[in-house]
Chain A
Amino acid sequence: MSLFYSTLKYLAVTLWSMFVIAPFLWALTTSFKDFQSVTSGATYIPWVDFEPTLDGWRSLFKSPAQGGIAIVEPFFNSVIVTAAGSGISIILGTLAAYSLSRFTFRVGPIRNGDITFFFISQRIMPPVVLSIPFFIMLGKLGLLDTLFGLVLVYVVLLMPIAVWIMVDFFNKVPLEIDETALIDGCNPYQAFFKVVLPNSVPGIIVAGMFCMIFGWTDFFFAFILTFTEVQLLPVAIVALNSSITPWWSLSAAALVSVAPLVVVAFVVERYLSKGNLSGALK
């Protein structure tokens, strides 16, 4: 029986791995193809099925006038907007979550749970509903088609995620830890920064990872709120889609766009494997 289940387990893992890895392999091989290789039927193995070329990767650094997509600027625009949006969201979200977890707020019938829901409710609304007020507000502030404007919007979009994750995290941290810090001579700010915050690193990493994933992969708001001055990576990649799609360039750009998230996943995975995310509080 155990052999049967063991075989079944490995079969399931193999199938799942293929399901996850196959698109990457497809994109990787395609990024080394040219028009001829892409249109001549299904080919997989370089030097056997097709002759590899770096045309797809070179096009990432060429301007559109040269037939490229000039990915460098959109890439760094995305890095700036995602990092700033996530960073500010985590800082504000962590502070908001701590106060929602530790202090009681009462305004008429509104309680802490309602305030937390208010934050999350912004993620419940369809993006198109939010896009119109965002567009009008950024327009009035003269921030349309600017990195700063996008960072502001991303903070609004990402902070609910940070608050949601961190409220839950702080609720699981015993209040007695804060109290012990006060008794040991910390004022409330020192108790937060010297004791609570260092012990919240696991929660902050998880919240930060989610913020980065949502920020990095956003297309809708990046598309609606920018025109010519600022372009983010997802918009630049989608712009490649035309009557004759350059699949080799698209694949190379897709691999570049997914690379930062893979790096983040590996860093967090290494952190997890060291046991730093589990059993922090007993």
Chain B
Amino acid sequence: MSLIASNLSIKHEKNFHLNDVSFSMSKGEIYTIIGRTLAGKTTLLKTIAGLISPDSGGLTFDGHDFGSIPVWKREIAMVYQQFINYPHLTVYQNVAFPLKQRGIQKTEIHRRVIAALSQVGLEGFGDRKIQALSGGQQQRVALARSLVKEAKIVLLDEPLVNLDYKLREQLREEFRGIFDTKASEDSILIYSSTDPVEAMQLGGQILVMDEGRVIQQASAKEIYENPISTKVSQITNDPAMNLFDGRIEDGCIVLSPEIKFDLPSHFNGLPQGDFTFGLRAAAISLDDNGFPFSVELSEISGSETFLHVRHEGLKIVGLLNLVQNFSVGGKVSVRFDTKHLYAFAPDGHLKSSPYGGLQ
């Protein structure tokens, strides 16, 4: 069973909402669509659901033309980023709704609703009104309604984005458990997110979207190790990968007259010339023998510190262990861990990665 999209395009006036999108998805897999806001993630999910018709291109599911099947006859489920439920119904009635629509027997509906509520941790909440639930509980109801259908395709459109941090972390863990169970069965799970951490944690296959295009589709590991372009590297890293223009000349990488370092071994095949180099924030550290930078901003995030530093036109962000205090304008010595350096061509395409991706 597979869902195949061929050259899907949706254009509104001069802007493409989807631009020649093609992919293939198989059952039992989790697919995460990652992209910035307005990248086309929701449009793609709604197109798969049948809520939006593409201007051109098509979708097939199990070899059948999906476009000719109306939304209400497609075996799909969808959870939105807003907590969308039926406010006039109780929790039980909400979860039972899609089953009633299918004309399933009452006893079977009861069995499946109770199972779904238990799966999302809402046992005993059946008689409650939706308005009486917290945001997290409301989203669990929406999730239960999507699970109870045992749909062939489950679409999750940034389902955690409107929850507070703690709840997001908790539900993300629970989602993984639920997905693992579901994914092993008969479904294709498609999850959209703007959060690279979320995408990487979910694992599975990742589709990176930008301006209506799928710019890379690969496993989470492959995307992490070999982002095919600077855009992918920016979208799939938080904080975004540091990018800086420089040159390779005489066996050295030259970023500025003062900042030069030896060519790492994985760059040996690269010719001399201009490149855009990329380095993740975690590969930046403080070292007395490093290059001089001045502190622009220091942000504490949990037990880590994001340090924004600058040397003339070169601005980078480092991720330092533990909470560390820096004064703005203060001087620090920064070391680049060149073992983790990426090289991109001036047009943005990956030329060399520390994980062997050389194009």
Contact = CB atoms under 8 A, between A and B. Distances in A.
Interface residues of A, number: 21
Given A198-B88, A281-B87, A183 B76 contact: yes
Contacts, number: 63
A55 B2 CA distance: 85
A180 B101 contact: no
A176 B101 contact: no
A28 interface: no
Contacts of B113: none
A186 B101 CA distance: 7
B77 to A, nearest CB: 7
A146 interface: no
Interface stretch (B78-86, B164-172, B193-201, B290-298): B78-86
Interface string A109-126: 000000000000000000
B261 interface: no
A195 B97 CA distance: 10
A229 interface: no
B71 interface: yes
Contacts of B138: 282
A187 interface: yes
A282 B142 CA distance: 13
Interface string B129-153: 0110000001000000100010000
A185 B72 contact: yes
Contacts of B83: 282
Nearest to A173: B87
A282 B86 contact: no
B51 A184 contact: no
Given A177-B86, A282-B83, A184 B131 contact: no
Interface string A191-228: 00001001101000000000000000000000000000
Contacts of A280: 87-88, 131
A120 to B, nearest CB: 28
A50 to B, nearest CB: 54
A199 B102 contact: no
B159 to A, nearest CB: 12
B146 to A, nearest CB: 9
A174 interface: yes
A145 B149 CA distance: 58
Contacts of A195: 86, 88
Given A174-B82, A179-B51, A184 B87 contact: no
B49 interface: yes
Contacts of B77: 183
A180 to B, nearest CB: 5
B313 interface: no
Contact of A185 (B49, B85, B102, B130): B102
Contacts of A180: 78, 80, 84-86
Which residue, A179, A185, A198, A281, has most C-beta atoms of chain B within 10 A?
Answer: A185
A174 B86 CA distance: 11
Interface in A128-181: 174, 176-177, 179-181
Contacts of B130: 282
Contact of B87 (A179, A183, A186, A282): A282
Interface string B49-89: 10100000000000000000011101011101011111110
A138 B116 CA distance: 60
A282 B141 CA distance: 13
Contacts of A281: 87
Nearest to B98: A184
Given A176-B80, A282-B131, A282-B138, A182 B72 contact: yes
Contacts of A174: 82, 84
A279 interface: yes
B88 A199 contact: yes
Nearest to B86: A195
B318 to A, nearest CB: 40
A177 B84 contact: yes
Interface string A254-281: 0000000000000000000000000111
Contact of B51 (A182, A199, A201): A182
A199 B72 contact: no
Given A176-B80, A279-B131, A282-B130, A185 B98 contact: yes
Contacts of B149: 184
Nearest to B130: A282
Given A282-B130, A282-B131, A182 B86 contact: no
B152 to A, nearest CB: 13
A281 B71 CA distance: 23
A201 B149 CA distance: 28
B72 A186 contact: yes
Interface of B: 46, 49, 51, 70-72, 74, 76-78, 80, 82-88, 97-98, 101-102, 130-131, 138, 145, 149
6 contacts: A183-B51, A183-B71, A184-B72, A186-B72, A199-B87, A282-B138
Give me the 4 closest cross-chain CB pairs, A-B, nearest first.
Answer: A185-B101, A184-B98, A198-B88, A182-B71
